[in-house]
Amino acid sequence: MLPSDASPVDQIGMATLPEPPLADGELPGTPAEREFTVEQRSQWKTIWRRFTHHKPAMISLVVFFLLMVFAFVGPLFWKYKYDQVLKKPPGANKDWIRPSWEHPFGISKGYDVLAQVMRGTQYSIRIALVVMVVSVTIGVVVGAISGYFRGFTDSALMRFTDLMLVIPYLAAVAALQRNVKGSTWLWLALFLALFGWMGIARVIRGEFLSLREKEFVEAARSVGASSPRIIFKHIMPNTLGPIIVNATLAVGGAVLAEAALSFLGLGVKPPDTSLGKIIEVGKSKATTYPNEFWWPVLMLCLISLTVNFIGDGLRDAFDPKQNRVRA
Amino acid sequence: MLSFIIRRILVSIPLLFLASIVAFILVINTGDPLEDLRTKQPPTPAATIALREHQLGLDKPPVERYVSWLTKAIHGDFGKTIKNQPVWDEVSRALGVTLRLVLFAEILSVLIGVTIGVISAVKQYSWFDYTATTGAFLLYSLPVLAVGSFLKYVLAIRLNRWIGRADDPLIKTIGEGTPNFCTPSKPYNCGFIPATTDFLSHALLPTLTLVLISFAGYARFSRASMLETLNADYVRTARSKGLSERRVILKHAFRNALMTVVTVISLDFGALIGGAILTETIFEWHGMGRVLVESITKIDPNLLLCWFFVTAVAVIAFNLIADILYAFLDPRIRLD
């Protein structure tokens, strides 16, 4: 929802069809005269329509939803738990750990791999969501302040951003994560966010720099609106497009960054887990008993692909200039 | 132009200085390098621990440690690792390994990526464009981990087995070279041809992994950039002058599209000096990526600091090169 007193001009910086000057709900002519009905489409309806017409994005949305169900609801109903040690049944041959109806992903080190992968996917998505919320918040605040106030504040914040970009992201997170004892996943998420907000800040700063010069901001200022009000009520709603797109892509980036660190042995530690952690444990048996290795790798690919497709669809929907799908 | 370059270099120095402070803060928060020594059973004598602390400079306050590190680093002395080896020897060796991998891969991905991107843009909405754009998007979204593991475990190891060379693999999956390949006892290995063959058979898979992952990005980027210039007014002017299509595309559109592409390449290259960490780990190359992982796992402060320093210098230097190239290629940029 957009606040009613937001910009009178286009809300997300895109052209809409010119609308005839009609009062609300009034349509030209009587119904009998018209051969078709004209329905007024709001901006959000247009965006939603464009998004739903982006086939890969819609398919990805469904797949991603199923993944979430798999990760968060699956463990509640699956008959084996992630920490349940399975004993070799008497008389079974060495193939008992291979995939079967009892254990669709097979067994590794006495654990049911399906249960492990469900839990790993859950932790990966949890970490990614925390990273998304925190890094987008930092990025938007820094970008908004920088772009709105310009001048010294802007230079100071942007030099700081440059400095953060000089330090390699994964290395910085890994160095801090090394010292964490106890529960590790939340710390990892916070460190990833702390070193991963710079891209979003730059995008939002750019949006603010151009929007702050628009007439509706001048109008708001001239009637005495305060800076916070202009930032949050007038400019921020117009940057929702890039914020949503970047937030989506941040989820994919965080899942991959987490997997990379855990794969290197620098991410989450037991009792926490993640897809990267399972892959790290399973990599020594990638050729002999591939279940523990390839299933989490497949999950990782699925998350990364679906999130990128959803992000792509959202970008097309918000910014029809680089559109590939007509809607 | 010269004053522009000098000014940019002068701006970079404080940035590097600040980066070294951030790196130092990260390093002292990585953990206690003597953790193993302290928790060892039977307990290590306190005198031994105190001696090690003194050797590593841990007994001094952080500010003093930083200042002494910086003064030595400026003179080219990066200290010793926890195993008492000179840090710089280890880092320069790793840098060589990483460069061998990254240089080759980067050149290939740029050539392939830019070619595909430009053809896609020129033939927009053709079947080639759709195939290339979709393919690039898929590869761009795939994790390095998946691509590398797939090439290693599924393709290479099976291929080697299939052609009956599982013991002496044709495509090497481990390491940057055969250990002790050229020794006095094996003089036949020291020629140019055996050495090159050995390098290529080791480099094939990691290079392919890096190319598959990064060419897609360049293809996407140069397609977008090329589409922008193809729709520009000066391209229309060139066409209306009656220039051949070939000339319009190569001399007018492509040259201008290249400006932004060159900047992106330069920035990417700077980031790669820190090592293609995952690729190096999967194929067990001992480059900068491995140095990073080992220095953090074993908590080796001087080694980690030097790693941060070298990567920061690389990132800043290639930022600078990107700026200068951009200013050089685009005369519209104001230099003052």
Cβ within 8 Å, pair B27-A167: no
Position with higher pLDDT, A53 vs A21: A53
Give me the residue from A175, A300, A308 closest to B296, CB to CB.
A175
Cβ within 8 Å, pair A263-B278: yes
What is the pLDDT, as a whole number, of residue B40? Answer: 74
**In Å, how far is B120's CA from the nearest CA of chain A?**
13
What residue spans of A150-233 are helical by DSSP H?
151-166, 169-177, 185-194, 198-211, 215-222, 227-229
Q: Does A156 touch chain B (CB under 8 A)?
A: no
**Could you give phi then psi for residue B295, rounded to 5 degrees?**
-65, -30
Q: Domain range spanning residue B247? A: 2-335
Q: What value does the mean pLDDT of chain A take? A: 80
DSSP bridge partners of B321: none
Distance separating alpha carbons of residues B313 and B56, to the nearest angstrom: 24
For the ranges A94-103, A170-179, B187-196, the one whose mean pLDDT is highest: A170-179
How far out from the chain centre does Cα A320 lie? 21
Structure-block tokens of residue B145 = 């981990």
Q: Are A34 and A27 in contact (CB under 8 A)?
A: yes
Overall domain count for chain B: 1
> Which residue out of B139, B151, B296 would a mutagenesis test of the A interface target, given it has the greatest number of A Cβ atoms within 10 Å?
B296
Q: Are A254 and A307 in contact (CB under 8 A)?
A: no
What is the pLDDT, as a whole number, of residue B155? Answer: 84
Q: Does A161 touch chain B (CB under 8 A)?
A: no
Least trusted range by pLDDT, from A15-24, A256-265, B37-46: A15-24
Cβ within 8 Å, pair A312-B138: no
Which residues of A are less than 8 Å from B18 in CB distance? 163
Average pLDDT of A242-263? Answer: 89
Q: Does A287 touch chain B (CB under 8 A)?
A: yes
What is the pLDDT, as a whole number, of residue A191? Answer: 93
Question: Is a pLDDT exceeding 80 seen at residue A29?
Answer: no
Q: Are B35 and B296 in contact (CB under 8 A)?
A: no
Average pLDDT of B137-159? Answer: 85
Average pLDDT of B31-53? Answer: 77
Closest chain B CA to residue A276: B145
Which residues of A are less than 8 Å from B312 in CB distance? 166-167
pLDDT tier for residue A12 given thresholds of 50, 70 and 90:
very low
Give me the residue from A179, A259, A279 closest to B31, CB to CB.
A179
ipTM: 0.86
pLDDT tier for residue A141 given thresholds of 50, 70 and 90:
very high
DSSP state of A196: S
- pTM strictly above 0.80: yes
Rg from Cα positions in chain B: 25
Chain B interface residues facing chain A, Cβ-Cβ under 8 Å? 15-16, 18-19, 22-23, 26-27, 29-31, 133, 137-138, 140-146, 149, 153, 157, 224, 271, 274, 277-278, 281, 292-293, 296-297, 299, 304, 307-308, 311-312, 315-316
Give me the residue from B26, B133, B153 closest to A172, CB to CB.
B26
Nearest to B226 by CA among B310, B312, B150, B129: B129
For the ranges B56-70, B171-185, B305-319, the one whose mean pLDDT is highest: B305-319
3-state secondary structure (DSSP) of residue B80: strand
Q: Does A281 touch chain B (CB under 8 A)?
A: no
B261 CB-side CA count, 13 A:
28
**In Å, how far is B17's CA from the nearest CA of chain A?**
10
Q: Are A100 and A165 in contact (CB under 8 A)?
A: no
Distance separating alpha carbons of residues B295 and B315, to the nearest angstrom: 20
3-state secondary structure (DSSP) of residue A319: coil
**Sign of the torsion angle spanned by Cα atoms B5, B7, B11, B16:** positive
**In Å, how far is A166's CA from the nearest CA of chain B?**
6
What angle (nearest 5°) sits at the alpha carbon of residue A133, between those of residues A65 and B28? 125
**In Å, how far is B16's CA from the nearest CA of chain A?**
8
Cβ within 8 Å, pair A167-B19: yes
DSSP state of A86: P
End-to-end CA distance of chain A: 22
User: Residue A233 contacts by C-beta under 8 Å, 6 or more apart in sequence?
Assistant: A3, A5, A6, A220, A225
Nearest to B288 by CA among B301, B274, B278, B303: B274
For the ranges A133-142, B56-65, B131-140, the one whose mean pLDDT is highest: A133-142
What angle (nearest 5°) sits at the alpha carbon of residue A219, between those of residues A214 and A222? 125
Cβ within 8 Å, pair B312-A175: no
> Which residue out of B15, B141, B302, B308 would a mutagenesis test of the A interface target, given it has the greatest number of A Cβ atoms within 10 Å?
B141
pLDDT tier for residue A137 given thresholds of 50, 70 and 90:
very high
Which residues of B are less than 8 Å from A179 in CB distance? 29-31
Least trusted range by pLDDT, from A184-198, B15-29, B52-66, B211-225: B52-66
Q: Are B9 and B319 in contact (CB under 8 A)?
A: no
Q: Are A242 and A119 in contact (CB under 8 A)?
A: no
Q: Does A256 touch chain B (CB under 8 A)?
A: yes
Give me the residue from A176, A260, A324 closest to B278, CB to CB.
A260
Cβ within 8 Å, pair B308-A171: yes
CATH of the domain at B64: 1.10.3720.10
Q: Does A323 touch chain B (CB under 8 A)?
A: no
Q: What is the pLDDT of residues B73-129, one digit of tens each?
A: 888 888 888 887 888 988 999 998 898 888 889 999 999 999 999 999 888 888 988
Position with higher pLDDT, B2 vs A38: B2
Question: Is a pLDDT exceeding 80 seen at residue B170?
Answer: no
Nearest to B8 by CA among B326, B323, B260, B333: B323
DSSP bridge partners of B80: B86
Tokens 């050229």 locate to B182
Which residues of B are less than 8 Å from A293 in CB distance? 149, 153
Question: Is a pLDDT exceeding 60 seen at residue A325?
Answer: no
B319 CB-side CA count, 13 A:
18
